[in-house]
Every structure is written in C-alpha cells, then in structure tokens.
Structure 1
C-alpha cells in the first residue's frame, strides 16, 4: 500500500507566485533541439533564488507539485515539436511515494495534451540525500513509468561515481565548472573523455551544460558528446522558447 503524502489534499496555496523559463537542450549531431529544461523564475522573471529563498520545509511538497504542473501546462502551450522532451527539476525529499506523487503531473500532462513519455525528471547531487534508498526507488519507479531520469550537476556534489553506479539514470549532466574553459585544461579533457566512455558502457546519455564558447563546444564534441545546454546556444526564455543559435556551425567530423 502506498504511504500517504503529507501534502496530498492540502489546498493551502503558496504565499508567493512564480513562473517558468525554458532553456533549450541541443542535439548537435542532428542539428535540432532535443528538449527544454524548465527553470523556476519569479512572476516578473526574477531569479530562481528569489523564489526558492522564500520556501520553507513545510512548503516543499506543495511547491514541487505546483512547479511540475506549471512546467507541463506551460510546455503544452509553447511546444510545437511532438518529440521535444521537457526536463523538470524535482526535489527527492518532497516525494513521499513516487506513484502517488506523480499523479498530479500525469493529470497536468493529460490536460495539456503533452506526451507523458516526453517528460524527464532531473535531480542534483549537490545536496546530500537524507535517504539514498528512497531516491533509488523514485528513479526506478519513474523509469518503470516510462519517464527519463537525469542526474544534474554531476561531478560537483557529494557522491559522484558511487551515486551513478547506484542510481543508473538515463542521462547525466556534467557540472559546468568541470567544463568551463575545458579547451585550456588537459586534466579536464582527460576526465570528461573518461566519463564519456563510462556513459557509453553503461548506456547512459551524456549532456554538457553551461557551454558558453565555441572552443568549449569543439573540445566537448571531440570527446563524443552530442547533447549540449548553455548560453552559447540560448539563454532561458521567460515563459517562451528562445531562438537557438549555432546549430549549423558544428563540424560533425569531430565526433568519435
């Protein structure tokens, strides 16, 4: 029997408002937008911090649910590519029982006529997880339901490779600090190349986030990475899908 969610049935509204921005995830091998990450913003486009700093522990569940619903419903209005994925950040500690807590998201997808199979849920390793077994159960459940799962900020948090081995997400996003000026750092290039090999062996998709320059992109493309996100391609669009630059300039001969 599924445990009861503390926030289920709680009609109390959050005491603050928020909206969404969308940043493209680009597949450079196919010269197309692979999907978009939904990012929380203030009601006038203020930073995510301006919203999250108002959040209390008691509001985690409600905020997590409301943010998912808003991301899905807004994507349903904006997306015109039926294959584009929507990546939604979630808080593992705000999920009490995965199958119960996903219902509002599924209902929102149905209302918005957004394919539930195009949803990807990503979480970060930047904060220590209070219950890794619980997170493992969430990932396993989401994958069984047909969603993609992603580990964000890989290489910047507490667990690293041990967490990757335990959770086996569909996708990992390499932390931008490891990628910054990678064309100038041989140690970074070696690490990323090794990580690309690990991802291939585990059948995990690799995404480079925070890419800001053509030099970074060229070096990462040479390592075999095909999914990218960052200001080089587009800044997040507030309640909109931004124009994407640079897709036609990539030399596909650099692929391994």
Structure 2
C-alpha cells in the first residue's frame, strides 16, 4: 500500500488547520467530560461541526473512503489548534477513524507536529475510537491502541455497547477509558437489565485498571444511580451541552 505523502513541519500543520486537502470546511464544538468527585473538567471532547455550527452529519456525510485519511489528519490538527487557542487546561479527546490509520507510528506524526506548532502538551491528548465503526481487523485496532499508549497518549473506546462491542480488544489491549453508550445510560435507574449489564462492565474495567465514562447522562436520576455504582466520570446535557468553538463550564447536580 502506498503511503500518502505527509510532511511534518509547521507549514503542513497550517495547511491542515485550514482544511487543505478537502473540498468542505468544518470546525468543532467542545463538550466537557467531568470528574464528579472533584467537580472539575477532566477533558473536553472535540465534536465535529459545520463551519457555522451545523450538526455533525452535515460534515460526516461528506466523508468517504477516498477522503477519510485527509479528514482524519485534518481533524487532529484543527482540534489541537483550536484547543490551544482556547487555552484548554483539561485533556483533549479527539475521535479517530481506525480505518484511516494504516500505520499508527506514521500517521501520528502530523498530530505530533501540530502539538509542537501550537504548543499543546501531547500528554493531554486522548484518542477516542468510535466503537460503532466496524473494523475489518481487531488486530489492526489493537496495534493502534498499543502504539498510542506506548507513545504516551491516552486511549478510549466510545459508545461501548452500541452494537460492535470489542471484547477481544479489552482482552488484548484495554484502553484507558471506556465510554458507556447512552443507550445503556438512558433510564438506567429504573431498568434492572441495563443495571446488570453496566455492573458487569464496571467490574471488568475495575479489574483491567481502566476508568468508565458515563456518556449521554441527561437526568439526575441516571446520574445518582451511576454515581452509587462508583462511576466518577460523566458527559451529557445534565452537566453541559456542547459549545461551538468554546469551552462550556459544567454544572453539577446537588
């Protein structure tokens, strides 16, 4: 497979930050992932948006197998640049497309160059794989997770439980963070079957040494049940909605 030509200097970062290589533009909204124990922001997830704040699908609907590599690389650079411009002190969570990463060590170079160019600490970057993206090879995803962890990045699996649960990955190379799918979170305080599934996931992550993020939390009842089970990291409208090109301050339920 021929490798795309990637230059890792400041001019290349600026080109990526401007979206060069794509025929559409986009930006980001940020939503906090909060630490309920310390009542602080643990991280901000970069959520792709249209250039004027349009919904994610107005952008993602234009991504295909021909431009996904450029989109993945440009996403990383633009997210790092915007986080730096906003003086983000918390960690930055960036979604990545496993099928656009053919060799982790090579594809990461643009991210490293962007972090240097925009003076953003690479130790504050979380790479979050979208759990619903069907992978042709679990071994390929495992190699990416292992490479990123070796390089000092944090890793996360998004939407765990949404349909393509990667238990093989949990066995071979567990991520640092596992984000519960909002379908499991919704009304969990009154659904015993969901409670049983989530309790099992909590036990699994505890034994693997990772942390759980409860995603899509919208009501105090959902939060208080999850909190009673020892989960400390949360994301959802209960705390803050995504803010377009800004860092929203979360609120915490009493």
Q: TM-score, normalised by structure 1?
A: 0.91
Q: Distance in 1 between matches of 2:4 and 2:133?
A: 22
Deviation per residue, 1:126-156 (Å, 9 max, x gap): 1220122111111010000000010111011
Q: Distance in 1 between matches of 2:168 and 2:40?
A: 33
Of stretches 57-66 and 7-16 in structure 1, the one that deviates more from structure 2 is 7-16
Aligned residues: 244
C-alpha displacement of 1:6:
2.9
Contact 1:125 1:152 in 2 (8 A): yes
Residue 51 to residue 7, structure 1, CA distance change in 2 (3 Å): farther
Which residue in 1 is equivalent to 2:160?
154
Say yes or no: does 1:72 pair with 2:80.
yes
C-alpha displacement of 1:7:
5.4
Contact 2:213 2:231 in 1 (8 A): yes
Which residue in 1 is equivalent to 2:3?
5
C-alpha displacement of 1:29:
0.8
Of stretches 180-189 and 145-154 in structure 1, the one that deviates more from structure 2 is 180-189
Of stretches 145-154 and 47-56 in structure 1, the one that deviates more from structure 2 is 47-56
Q: Distance in 2 between matches of 1:65 and 1:208?
A: 28
Q: Distance in 2 between matches of 1:48 and 1:5?
A: 28
Match of 1:50 among 54, 58, 80: 58
Of stretches 219-228 and 7-16 in structure 1, the one that deviates more from structure 2 is 7-16
Which residue in 1 is equivalent to 2:47?
39
Which residue in 1 is equivalent to 2:179?
173
Q: Distance in 1 between matches of 2:78 and 2:48?
A: 10
Q: Distance in 2 between matches of 1:75 and 1:218?
A: 31
Q: CA RMSD in A?
A: 1.7
Q: Distance in 2 between matches of 1:8 and 1:39?
A: 24
Of stretches 170-179 and 126-135 in structure 1, the one that deviates more from structure 2 is 126-135
Could you list the runs of 5+ residues in structure 2 that have no partner in the other structure?
Answer: none
Say yes or no: does 1:108 pair with 2:114.
yes
Deviation per residue, 1:11-35 (Å, 9 max, x gap): 8620000001100000001110001
SS at match of 2:33: strand
Deviation per residue, 1:169-208 (Å, 9 max, x gap): 1110010000100111112112212211111111011110
